[in-house]
């Protein structure tokens, strides 16, 4: 299967790790932040020191931004399935909607904080919580799956990551705005997934 990964640049390392897992499962993968397959990678920070210096008109006037749009669209058109990793911004959500509208499979995976929901996620072919990466891999067509021992060890990491995110970004039960909820999710990802990948390697599952 050909897979396109959509997410935020803040999830760069996570996106690359997930892409590596999918490739080991036998899939072809395009990852927006990985130029190894010859794709064009675009960062707005190369053009603006502060995001407040840009607006929708000045940004889209950049030749590199238009090139990035054409590049991303090309790879979405190429793929069979788009996997959106949450937290992410508007672009990744638009990519997911475009992919679904053109007949691709659309999956959402990530750390969803309490109080966050999106009605239009109903378009997705599957929504997976942070501990469900093995299930997503199975849905996509995985060559190897976890064993019960790995799942038990993995499940211990989930509350640890939540405690870390609560400490660094504030408890999820506190009334948060959308930006704060996304930041909590980014912190959760940084705490959970590196440990999960280490565990998988230790058990010989990747």
* Angstrom distance (rounded) from CA 4 to CA 6: 6
φ, ψ dihedrals at 25, nearest 5°: -80, 0
Q: Specify the pLDDT at position 185.
A: 85
- Per residue in 37-71, pLDDT (tens digit) is 889 888 777 777 777 777 889 888 889 889 999 99
pTM over 0.85: no
> What are the CB-based long-range contacts (under 8 Å, 24+) for 167-175?
172/113, 172/114, 172/115, 173/114, 175/115
Residue 146 has pLDDT above 70, yes or no: no
pLDDT tens digits along 153-185: 777 778 888 888 888 888 765 667 888 888 888
Dump strand ranges (E) for the chain.
Answer: 2-6, 28-31, 81-86, 105-110, 126-128
What domains sit in the chain, N to C, each tagged with a CATH number?
2-145 (3.40.50.450)
């Amino acid at each position: 299967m050909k897979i396109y990964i959509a997410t935020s640049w803040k999830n760069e390392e996570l996106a690359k790790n997930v892409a590596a897992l999918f490739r080991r499962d036998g899939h072809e993968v395009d990852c927006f932040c990985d130029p190894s397959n010859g794709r064009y990678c675009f960062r707005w920070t190369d053009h603006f020191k502060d995001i407040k210096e840009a607006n929708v008109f000045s940004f889209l006037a950049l030749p590199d931004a238009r090139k990035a749009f054409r590049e991303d669209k090309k790879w979405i058109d190429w793929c069979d399935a788009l996997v959106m990793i949450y937290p992410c911004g508007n672009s990744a959500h638009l990519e997911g909607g475009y992919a679904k509208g053109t007949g691709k499979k659309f999956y959402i995976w990530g750390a969803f904080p309490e109080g966050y929901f999106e009605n239009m996620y109903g378009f997705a072919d599957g929504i997976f919580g942070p501990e469900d990466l093995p299930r997503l891999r199975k849905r996509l067509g995985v060559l190897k799956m976890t064993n019960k021992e790995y799942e038990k060890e993995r499940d211990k990491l989930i509350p640890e990551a939540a405690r870390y995110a609560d400490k660094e970004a504030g408890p999820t039960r506190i009334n948060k705005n959308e930006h704060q909820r996304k930041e909590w999710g980014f912190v959760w990802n940084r705490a959970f997934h590196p440990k999960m990948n280490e565990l998988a390697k230790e058990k010989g599952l990747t």
